[in-house]
Amino acid sequence: MELLSLNSMFCMFAASALIFFFSPIIKLFLTSARRKIPLPPGSLGWPYIGETFQLYSQNPNVFFASKIKRFGSIFKTHILGCPCVMISSPAAAKFVLLTKAHLFKPTFPASKERMLGKQAIFFHQGDYHAKLRKLVLRAFMPAALKNKVEDIESLAKDSLQSWEGRSINTYQEMKTFTFNVALLSIFGKDEILYREDLKRCYYILEKGYNSMPINIPGTLFHKSMKARKELAQILAKIISTRRESKLEDHNDLLESFMGDKEGLTDEQIADNVIGVIFAARDTTASVLTWIMKYLGENQSVLEAVTEEQEAIMRLKEESGEDKALNWEDTKKMPITSRVLQETLRVASILSFTFREAVEDVEYEGYLIPKGWKILPLFRNIHHSPEIFPEPEKFDPTRFEVAPKPNTYMPFGSGNHSCPGNELAKLEILVILHHLTTKYRWSIVGADNGIQYGPFALPQNGLPIILSSKE
């Protein structure tokens, strides 16, 4: 989700209120003097600008790694007007996301809230959050996904066919696939009618995600807000059509949202539908792009995956079984699953998340003052040589042994962890099945660059040429 990226400039709102920036510093000074608990080590840099420049002028991971080397696994810094504490040990991540999660609330820039909708799941804690989470999980748990495998498979086959013989931008094409899977899981098959309209509006909306929140005609933000309104109108139409038809067996996210006896308003439903599309599309598409890169670079890993997938295909043909993939088939892919796990570790596309301390919190003898941001650095945990030896090496066999608790969090941890992780894994395995058994691809240009923003991706979205094996 790009809302977790640095580019989202989660503290821009502070720019308009320098006063508010100084007051926590003064307050914190008083608080820590009173309580005599030291702040974590680290430097806060210049007023307001803080260490933003150091962070943005390079690969952000270099910034984090050099800080960790200098100050240890917990350190303070100051980015875009916000004092923050960054943490990179499994124990500290557990403390913030799991055991003391009630002391740390989710935090996002105001403009992001306006675009996604204030009522979307990410922004909430407590009862409303628990209710939404229950409804989302109901639609994305294995029992619900089992019925979707065939439809996901046909989306995967259509995508691959449309790329055949062409030079494509892997990331852009994967985004189309993951968008279609997201719509399928939200609306079921019926709403295919609305796909192009939803896509057109969503693509305008997303252009404004990182824009300045100035709502006057002509600005990106304005266009985006208009597209958002149109999206809400399309959703309202779908909802009212469903209410009239009263067919109760859609078995998708919209039904889960609509069917709840406590009753969500149409606006709450719209905010969460847009939120799920947002959370589902680019994340899954970038993981798929990284997998294509790692498989394309390591012949022996690619061969092992291909053999595993061909064996599944042969077995189905021999047994005269239905040739379509089913849920059980996707559970017989241990090698491919480890490739996915290792890709999630090495690429760590959500390299960190944000929380905000709701009160003064003490951790390991350090004070985390109320109002400060706290960033669990997933990527640094995933790249720690003590936890994952030779961390920069892509080696799926390391997952033959399960990772230790709290050392591997590609989907986060605790009450806000990813409710879509089963769907993400499913759609990735399904498209890899067809990709490796029927196609070959080569990467165009030996460009090993990485682009940042919103999250790490192979340079230019990984241009490839795909051709059929036959």
Ligand X SMILES: *[C@@H]1O[C@H](CO)[C@@H](O)[C@H](O)[C@H]1NC(C)=O
Chain contacts with ligand X (rule: CB under 6 A): 101-102, 130, 298, 300-301, 395-397, 415
Residue 423 interacting partner from ligand X, ligand HEM, none (CB closer than 5 to 8 Å by kind) = ligand HEM
201 φ, ψ (degrees, to nearest 5): -65, -45
**Identity of the residue, 124 or 281, whose beta carbon is nearer to ligand X in the bound complex:** 124
Tally Cβ neighbours within 10 Å of residue 238: 21
Give the distance from CA 3 to its chain's centroid: 9
Residues in a beta bridge with 440: 467
Nearest distance from C-beta of residue 106 to ligand X, angstroms:
11
User: Which candidate, 47, 96, 144, places its Cα nearest to that of 419?
Assistant: 144
**Identity of the residue, 251 or 415, whose beta carbon is nearer to ligand X in the bound complex:** 415
Q: Which helix (H) or strand (E) holds 357?
A: strand 355-357
Nearest distance from C-beta of residue 453 to ligand HEM, angstroms:
17
Residue 397 interacting partner from ligand X, ligand HEM, none (CB closer than 5 to 8 Å by kind) = ligand X
Residues in a beta bridge with 169: 463
256 near ligand HEM, rule: CB under 6 A = no
- Residue ranges in 270-289 that form contacts with ligand HEM under rule CB under 6 A: 276, 279-280, 283-284, 287
Nearest distance from C-beta of residue 103 to ligand X, angstroms:
8
410 near ligand HEM, rule: CB under 6 A = yes
- Residue ranges in 309-368 that form contacts with ligand HEM under rule CB under 6 A: 349-350, 353
Give the distance from CA 138 to its chain's centroid: 19
Residue 134 CA: distances (Å) to CA of 78, 121, 127, 368: 36, 11, 11, 31
Separation of alpha carbons 105 and 215, rounded Å: 28
Is 314:406 a contact under the CB 8 Å cutoff?
A: no
Nearest distance from C-beta of residue 125 to ligand X, angstroms:
6
136 near ligand HEM, rule: CB under 6 A = yes
Residue 468 interacting partner from ligand HEM, ligand X, none (CB closer than 5 to 8 Å by kind) = none
User: Which candidate, 176, 179, 184, 104, places its Cα nearest to that of 356?
Assistant: 104
Figure out which of the listed residues 64, 140, 294, 455 binds ligand HEM, where binding follows CB under 6 A: 140
Q: Pull the structure tokens for residue 135.
A: 């409804």
**Identity of the residue, 265 or 300, whose beta carbon is nearer to ligand X in the bound complex:** 300
Nearest distance from C-beta of residue 409 to ligand HEM, angstroms:
7
Separation of alpha carbons 153 and 326, rounded Å: 9
Choices 7-15, 365-373, 382-390, 418-426 (CB under 6 A): range interacting with ligand HEM: 418-426
Residue 32 interacting partner from ligand X, ligand HEM, none (CB closer than 5 to 8 Å by kind) = none
424 near ligand HEM, rule: CB under 6 A = yes
Choices 11-19, 166-174, 302-310, 417-425 (CB under 6 A): range interacting with ligand HEM: 417-425
Figure out which of the listed residues 7, 43, 211, 417 binds ligand HEM, where binding follows CB under 6 A: 417
User: Which candidate, 310, 336, 376, places its Cα nearest to that of 74?
Assistant: 376
DSSP state of 97: I
Measured distance between the N- and C-terminal CA atoms of the chain, rounded to whole angstroms: 37
Residue 300 interacting partner from ligand HEM, ligand X, none (CB closer than 5 to 8 Å by kind) = ligand X
Separation of alpha carbons 432 and 313, rounded Å: 12
Give the distance from CA 247 to its chain's centroid: 32
DSSP annotation string for 252-285: SHHHHHHH-TT---HHHHHHHHHHHHHHHHHHHH
**Identity of the residue, 6 or 121, whose beta carbon is nearer to ligand X in the bound complex:** 121
**Identity of the residue, 165 or 385, whose beta carbon is nearer to ligand X in the bound complex:** 385
Nearest distance from C-beta of residue 283 to ligand X, angstroms:
22
9 near ligand HEM, rule: CB under 6 A = no
418 is in an annotated binding site: yes
Residue 102 interacting partner from ligand X, ligand HEM, none (CB closer than 5 to 8 Å by kind) = ligand X
133 near ligand HEM, rule: CB under 6 A = yes
Nearest distance from C-beta of residue 352 to ligand HEM, angstroms:
9
**Identity of the residue, 21 or 382, whose beta carbon is nearer to ligand HEM in the bound complex:** 382
Contacts 24+ apart (CB under 8 A), 340-344: 340/287, 340/291, 340/425, 340/428, 340/429, 341/396, 341/399, 341/408, 341/410, 342/294, 342/394, 342/395, 342/396, 342/398, 342/399, 343/287, 343/290, 343/291, 343/294, 343/394, 344/287, 344/410
Residue nearest to ligand HEM (CB): 420
Nearest distance from C-beta of residue 367 to ligand X, angstroms:
21
Residues comprising the binding site?
Answer: 418
The residues that touch ligand HEM, with contacts defined as CB under 6 A, are: 121-122, 133, 136, 140, 185, 276, 279-280, 283-284, 287, 349-350, 353, 410-412, 416-420, 423-424
Residues comprising the binding site for heme?
Answer: 418
